[in-house]
Amino acid sequence: MTSPPCVSVLTIFLDAERFLGEGIRSVFAQTFDAWELLLVDDGSRDASGDVARTWAARDPARVRYLAHPGGANRGMSASRNLARRDARGELLAFLDADDVWRPEKFERHVEIADVWPQAGMIYGATEYWYSWTGSAADRARDYVAGLGTPSERLVRPPALLACWLRDGSAVPCMGSLVVRRALVNALGGFEEAFRDQYEDQVFYAKVALAAPIFVTAQGRDRYRQHPDSDCARAGASGRARIARPRARFLRWLDAYLTQHDVQDDELRRLVRRERRRVRIGSGPAMLRRLVARCVPSGAGLGR
């Protein structure tokens, strides 16, 4: 490839050999072909590294294999930062190792990015994908999640962050978005102190406070539902595993708002309310709310 790609795809993986190849094929199936794919191995011990290296050898102009020094496990945020520092595209897209994209994902989102140059991020509705199993019963379980906000519009900061705090289940999934690389770099990328759960929501908060975001109802990503995902295991392990990361996220957000002198009374009130809910919440109803807030954080098999 002689010119820089338009879209850099960042795929991080940890022990994801079962699904990784399928996700990579969904990138190659895109109807828009000005892309590159960065595959980041976060310390895998299975054959997923071999899968990634095979694809990189097959198309070295567009696919690169990356890993942390010594094959270390550094977590999701550090792995995404490793890839975004190596990325060349104007737009960054994030494909988790066990998910896939529909073929028109890039074509549609690049079109929106061109029409709305002021949009720092674009995201759409996500399909929760059960039918990958091939089971007739699972086909009936597929659904597209609601956005929790009107679509086909540009939303100024910090309105979406307030929306996500009011209804945590409306937080986007990583696979649904593209972000301008210049904005990600200006914000310092991902917060590496957040290795796994809520690392995505920390990133979303930074973007939503800094730039307008375009929201579209058109779904382009399929979020695979399976018992080995991070959130499935978190929900099965009980409230504490979910409540503690959320409490930490809210503490971080409270401090971030202060550090950046964000003067928004509603946002402050929502953060205080959510911190209070996590602190005093108990029982099945609270657990369901916390699981809903966790769902977008399930970034790949083995996490």
The whole-number pLDDT of residue 2 equals 55
User: At 206, is the pLDDT very low, low, confident or very high (cuts 50, 70, 90)?
Assistant: very high
Q: What are the backbone dihedrals phi and psi of residue 264, each rounded to the nearest 5 degrees, phi first?
A: -140, 105
**H-helix segments, 87-224:** 105-115, 136-139, 159-166, 181-186, 199-210
- List the chain domain ranges: 7-231, 232-296
Q: Which pLDDT tens digit goes with each residue over 69-117?
A: 999 999 999 999 999 999 999 999 999 999 999 999 999 999 999 999 9
Q: Which pLDDT tens digit goes with each residue over 35-78?
A: 999 999 999 999 999 999 999 999 999 999 999 999 999 999 99
The whole-number pLDDT of residue 8 equals 98
Q: How far apart are CA 59 and CA 249, in angstroms?
A: 39
Q: Which pLDDT tens digit goes with each residue over 112-136?
A: 999 999 999 999 999 999 999 999 9
Domain 7-231, what architecture? Answer: Alpha-Beta Complex (3.90)
Strand ranges in the chain using DSSP code E only, listed in sequence order: 7-13, 35-41, 63-67, 91-94, 100-101, 121-129, 143-144, 153-155, 177-180, 213-224
Distance of CA 131 to the CA centre of its chain: 21
User: At 267, is the pLDDT very low, low, confident or very high (cuts 50, 70, 90)?
Assistant: very high
Q: Which pLDDT tens digit goes with each residue over 242-255?
A: 788 999 999 999 99
